Structures are given as structure tokens and as C-alpha cells.
Chains A and B, each alone.
Chain A
Amino acid sequence: RKEVEQDPGPFNVPEGATVAFNCTYSNSASQSFFWYRQDCRKEPKLLMSVYSSGNEDGRFTAQLNRASQYISLLIRDSKLSDSATYLCVVGAGGFKTIFGAGTRLFVKA
């Protein structure tokens, strides 16, 4: 079993749609959680950190469920510019940071 698993997609959604991605992790001792965005042939960039109580940044909402060991990312009112690969990243302490393989999102006009 991979340490961090994501549905690779692709998710194809129309503009204005709401889309949700889940990510599961295997190490119950994991301490920190992030979502990164990676555009085609570009470097990953931090989208948002994920806090225990859940957090929101504009159209993006992140949730953490420690009991079930998953995190989620909800994107509301999708824009064409949201098309990218979304990476789930889990920190297990120290320098052990595990990247998921990513979920590809295509938003269509």
C-alpha cells in the first residue's frame, strides 16, 4: 500500500462545478498536511495547508479526518484556471514528507 494515495483522475468538470478530491495516508503518526498545485511542466506550488479544524481559502476548502486518515480538497465554482494536478502532501515528522502522485483536474468551458 502506498503511504499517500490519491485518485489519479482525470476529473473532467464544467466551469462552475464543484469538485472534491480525497487523499488517504497510511502513517497514523503523520503531523502535517498540505495541498500543492502543479501546472503542466511546472514546479509544485503550495495551495493550502490543512488544519485539524478544517480551513477555507476563497473557493477552496480543506478537511482533515484523522480517524479515517484522509484529507480532502473541495473546489467550488471551478474556473478554467483551476485546471492542474493537485498533490496531496503528508509530513510524518522531521524530513519525512510524502507526496501523493497527484490528481489531474480539467475544467472545461
Chain B
Amino acid sequence: NAGVTQTPKFRILKIGQSMTLQCTQDMNHNYMYWYRQDPGMGLKLIYYSVGAGITDKGEVPNGYNVSRSTTEDFPLRLELAAPSQTSVYFCASSPRTAANSPLHFGNGTRLTVT
């Protein structure tokens, strides 16, 4: 019963490098989300998807890109990493829209950009 799986758990990047954070879910949820959590702040929505092939920007999308080729997978791409992207990233899924149903979170990716 895996739920939402994120990889990697930790990563250190140098400024200007790129990477992809992987996220997969086995609950057949249509809705998937990427959040970032900074110390002392609430989670901020980066991108979300309502189904395969459909994605949209959230509150803080700059510097990120996503794709949703299958129901299960929702990778987050960081291009040209910057220190401001140092954060904890959570992928989540839900059976209905986030405002109307609980979110199921992955266990997070801690990213440091130096």
C-alpha cells in the first residue's frame, strides 16, 4: 500500500544545475500537486494537475516545470537551480479537488541549493 512515493529524499545541487523530483501514486487519483514548505511558512502550491495531460500553475511556479503523461506520475523539473529554491518539496494527490478532499502526501524531498 505505497500511496504517494517521492524520490529522492535528499539532494544537494549547485547553483545553475537542474534536476527532476519524481512523484508517483498508486491510488488512481486524478488530482496531483507539488508544494514547497519553507521554515515558518505554510505550504505553497507550485503546480497542480487535474489529470493526465493537464497541468496548471499554482501560487509559486517560477523556476519550475511539470508534466503529467500518466495518471500515476507527476515529476517536477527544476531548471537552473537557485538558492531560493532550497526547501522541502512535497508531492500530494487527492481523489477530488484539494479544496474538497484531504490530500495524501509523499514523504518529501529536502533540497539544498548552494
Listed in ascending order, the chain A residues whose CB lies under 8 Å from chain B are 4, 8, 31-32, 34, 41-46, 49, 87, 91-102
A-B contact number at CB 8 A: 56
Contact yes or no, B97 A94, CB < 8 A: yes
In B1-29, the 8 Å CB interface with A consists of none
A-B contact pairs, 15 of them (CB 8 A): A41-B108, A42-B108, A43-B90, A43-B106, A43-B108, A44-B103, A46-B103, A87-B42, A91-B98, A92-B99, A93-B99, A94-B97, A94-B99, A95-B99, A99-B44
Among A92, A93, A95, A101, the residue within 8 A (CB) of B41 is A101
Which range contains the number of B residues in contact with the other chain?
20 to 34
Determine if B40 is an interface residue (Cβ-Cβ < 8 Å).
Answer: yes
Residues A45 and B105 in contact, CB atoms below 8 Å apart: yes
Q: How far is the CA of A95 from the CA of B32 in the complex (A)?
A: 10
Specify which chain B residues have a CB less than 8 angstroms from the CB of A46 in the assembled complex.
Answer: 102-103
CB-based contact B98/A95 at 8 Å: yes
- Contacts A49-B102, A95-B56, A100-B42 known; 13 new A-B pairs at CB < 8 A: A32-B100, A43-B105, A46-B103, A91-B98, A93-B99, A94-B99, A95-B48, A95-B58, A95-B98, A97-B103, A98-B42, A99-B42, A99-B43
Determine if B45 is an interface residue (Cβ-Cβ < 8 Å).
yes
State in angstroms the CA–CA spacing of A101 and B40 once bound together: 6
Contact among B33, B99, B102, B107 with A43 in the assembled complex (CB-CB below 8 Å): B107
